Amino acid sequence: MPHRIGKINNVEKFDPEFFNIPATEAHMMDPMARMILEHTYEAIIDAGVNPKELQGTRTGVFTGICADTQSYSIYFKPYISGMSYWCNRSFVANRISYWLGTTGPSFNLDNACSSSHFVMTEAYNMIRSGNCDAAIVATANLCLHPYINFGFYRLGVLSSDGYCRPFDEAGSGYMRSDAMTVVYLQKAKNAKRIYATFVYGKTNCDGFKEEGITFPSFKVQKMLLKEFYEECGISPSELSYMEAHATGTIVGDPAEITSIDQTLCAKRNTLMGSIKSNLGHSEPASGLCQIAKILLAMETGIIMPTIHFKCPRKELTAIIEGRIKIVTEPTEWEGGYVGINSFGFGGANCHILLKSNPKQKINNGASNNDLSRLVIVSGRTEKAVKIILDDVRSRTIDTEYISLLHHIHNDNIEGHLYRGYMITGSKKSYDTINKIGHQYMKRPICFIFSGLGSQWSKMTGRALMKFPVFAKAVQKCDIVLRSYGIFLTDILLSDNKNIYNNIINLFLALVGLQI
């Protein structure tokens, strides 16, 4: 078998207490189930959402997983066989729904290598049809068991040297790879952070083929693309880039290139690439890896190059004649639409269309005043809180980012044992991180009146007048207090050392008016 494989770190690590899972149960769970829980939390937080907000909502949870590697060994251990159901693939989606308290649809979908694209399309259709309000789409692939690797090797789809060379004459298959990917899909009107818009998704199946079930059908792939762009009303000429499924197999790449050439290249040349050259093939998770690549291009402005491509196969005339150009160098992203192909080796085909978010930050998120900002965050550990605060400190003031943090942390996150705050944009450095001893104890609000002896010159609310909310409230009070001969705005902005009598009169007026 090939000696190379794509691996991810920390498969053995997990914090069961945070997810309310007993330690004995956590040991029985498939590693990918544990890691998907962690990545689901990350995706929700990255979207600017507190997990508590999802409780009782019709948020769907859809997973695209093919193999549960833990079950290969767990069924041979009689003393733990009673816990073996934790390796059932359906439990991955159900566990996320259970943890978050969501009531939307929750299931796993398995279509081999196109699983994550199929499940993204299903989530999209579920939201549009009103079956759920938002969706968590998760997929994973862990290459832990040698029997599975050996099976793919005997099938003849793996590269003998472990290198994946899409489109290249030296390509002889792919390298298997781990991946762990989660997407949080929302209606645009509800989203606080938008990386891209899911425009449309469509699936079909090859059906019967004389060559066999694992042989791709370029005719059915071509049919999918033709129907897709007719239905969504987007012309193929508007595509900025095409992310191919291309795995470097002898029959797969020519079939895909031919279908794309005959469908999309009639009106324009097409830029194309394949993430398989960079990461290997993560099978059911490969579709969301493609999406991750596109989102990185949209965020950074650079399309990641396809590596290991030197000379195209002789069957790939569209590349040879220049109608399709493979991106082999970092290339500037120009915005617009991106088409993404994903095919399962049983004949399950899917194509989705993404559009980059055209909205730009106003003044790069900078504030329109010189006010400092209070940032309050929480975390599972002290280090986690410090990382967030250090990140805020390393940036210029970004009001959109700070607003996102405020929304996430405006309520407790269960399991967060540390709280921290900082004042950004201040000449002095203020920050504190404390461990919360009684996490769920509601603390009373206290008003402290310091009595005599605390006055000093210019002890007014002048500084507070910089805050629009405070200034509007004062102006509103002015309207009421003018009949008493009191002008609150003048008092707050006055440098007169004898204004305290006015403040006392103001206090009496407020008491009398019960404001």
Q: Which of 248, 276, 231, 254 is nearest to 324 (CA)?
A: 254
Identify the three-state secondary structure at position 316. coil
Query: Residue 210's beta-bridge partner residues?
Result: none
Q: Rounded distance, CA 300 to CA 282, Å?
A: 24
Would you please indicate which residues are annotated as catalytic (active-site) residues? Answer: 113, 245, 281
Query: Residue 339's beta-bridge partner residues?
Result: 242, 353
Cβ–Cβ < 8 Å for 419, 378: yes
Q: Rounded distance, CA 15 to CA 68, Å?
A: 20
Single-letter code of the amino acid located at 245: H
Length of the chain: 515
Q: Rounded distance, CA 5 to CA 14, Å?
A: 23
DSSP 8-state class, residue 240: E
Single-letter code of the amino acid located at 338: V
Q: Which of 354, 338, 360 is nearest to 197 (CA)?
A: 354
Q: Which of 214, 306, 281, 246 is nearest to 4 (CA)?
A: 281
DSSP 8-state class, residue 410: S
Q: Which two tokens stand for residue 417?
A: 């044992």
Q: What is the 3-state secondary structure (H, E, C) of 23-87?
A: HHHHHHCCHHHHHHHHHHHHHHHHCCCCHHHHCCCCEEEEEECCCCCCHHHHCCCHHHHHHHHHH
How far is the CA of 395 from the CAs of 60, 61, 278, 368, in angstroms?
A: 35, 34, 31, 16
Using CA atoms in the order 400, 402, 405, 411, what is the torsion angle rounded to 10 degrees?
-110
Q: Within 10 A of 186 (CB to CB), how many other CB atoms are there?
A: 18
Q: Which two tokens stand for residue 177?
A: 């790879």
Q: Rounded distance, CA 105 to CA 87, Å?
A: 20
Cα dihedral across residues 477, 478, 479, 483: positive or negative: positive
How far is the CA of 193 from the CAs of 43, 196, 197, 200, 439, in angstroms?
A: 11, 9, 11, 20, 29
